[in-house]
Amino acid sequence: MKELLKIKSHLTNNPWLITQECYLTFSEALDLLAEINIDEEESVSAYTDDSVAIIPIHGTIMRNVDAKVAKFFGITDTMAVQQLLQEALEDPKITHILLDIDSGGGSVTGVQETAEMVASVNNEKPVYAVCEGMMASAAYWIGSQARAIVASKSSKVGSIGVYLPVVDNSEYYKSQGIHVELIKNKDATYKGAGFEGTSLTEEQKENLQEMVENIYEEFSGSVVQARPQMQKEAMQGQVFLGSRAKRMGLVDLVGNYSDAINLLIKEN
């Protein structure tokens, strides 16, 4: 399927905000199910609890994914989340918004814009976040912009960091008697970085490293601005269970979904 190929092509040579285990699981699922026939189409939707709009952010986070593929693979589309936030903001019956998060993160694209929208909407209507599973990397960037975060004791929170996987299979190609030559214009120092069968030059590595550092700077800066109590040592790519996440400043309350609803309603 064309949509699956598009997603797979994004797995390498692109920066990710996701835990390693979630990345590998997602990649393996794509390999195993590349030939499936997906018929059912269903987009992400919010549901309401009286005056509270509850927006689910579950699974791998990506941008502009076909709705059928997103449903099958458990992908949350950042564009869909932004649309739900806008609808909740404009609905006069909705007074509060709860982000129901269970995600190990995802692709960089669309995450910063979604996090910024959460922060913007929170200025108009209270936005809270709850996690009873995982809120890591891209998911934490988005959730960190909420007014308060509630996480269960067994939840995994954090993974503030960025990585960019590049597969160097040039040695394998050589062992098969294949030599890949990349012809490009002389000034295109960074063009074709990571092309299959080639190795990165030092200049290309430095360029990709700079990109990763820039993304991390935006990520960490956004988190610290929203949560100044965050301890610096909590931003080294690790995850924490709920109680320790609270001690490190990543969450505000150790509790469950009901605690999040109760905390949110107290705003009134």
Residue 1 has pLDDT above 60, yes or no: no
Residue 223 dihedral angles phi and psi, to the nearest 5°: -65, -45
Q: What is the pLDDT of residue 216?
A: 97
Number of other CB atoms surrounding residue 63 within 10 Å: 21
Percent of the chain with pLDDT over 90: 69
Quote the pTM value.
Answer: 0.87
What residues does 179 pair with on adjacent strands? none
Q: What is the pLDDT of residue 198?
A: 92
Q: What is the pLDDT of residues 144-186, one digit of tens each?
A: 999 999 999 999 999 999 999 998 999 998 999 999 998 999 9
Residue 128 lies in a domain: yes
Residue 261 lies in a domain: yes
8 A C-beta contact, residue 157 and residue 242: yes
For strands 96-107 and 16-18, give the pairing: antiparallel
Residue 181 lies in a domain: no
Residue 255 lies in a domain: yes
Residue 43 has pLDDT above 60, yes or no: no
Q: What is the average per-residue pLDDT within 64-68? A: 84
Q: What is the pLDDT of residue 163?
A: 93
Rounded to the nearest angstrom, the gap between the alpha carbon of residue 138 and the centroid of all alpha carbons in its chain is: 3
Q: What is the average per-residue pLDDT within 84-94? A: 95
In the chain, the number of structural domains is: 1
Percent of the chain with pLDDT over 70: 89
Q: What is the pLDDT of residues 49-63, one digit of tens each?
A: 678 999 999 999 999
Q: What is the pLDDT of residues 98-133, one digit of tens each?
A: 999 999 999 999 999 999 999 999 999 999 999 999
Q: What is the pLDDT of residues 219-241, one digit of tens each?
A: 999 999 999 999 999 999 999 99
CATH, residue 119: 3.90.226.10
Residue 9 has pLDDT above 90, yes or no: no
Residue 185 lies in a domain: no
- pLDDT-derived band at 11 (thresholds 50, 70, 90) equals confident
- Of the listed ranges 36-50, 59-73, 203-217, the one predicted with least confidence: 36-50
Q: Residue 153 sits in which domain range?
A: 2-164+215-265
Residue 182 lies in a domain: no
- pLDDT-derived band at 41 (thresholds 50, 70, 90) equals very low
Residue 247 has pLDDT above 70, yes or no: yes
Q: How does 22-58 read in b/e, with b if 16+ C-beta sit within 10 Å?
A: bbeebeeebeeeeeeebeeeeebebeeeeebbbbbbb
Residue 29 lies in a domain: yes
Residue 195 lies in a domain: no
Q: What is the mean pLDDT of the chain?
A: 89
C-alpha 246/C-alpha 78 separation (Å) is 26
Q: What is the pLDDT of residue 7?
A: 72
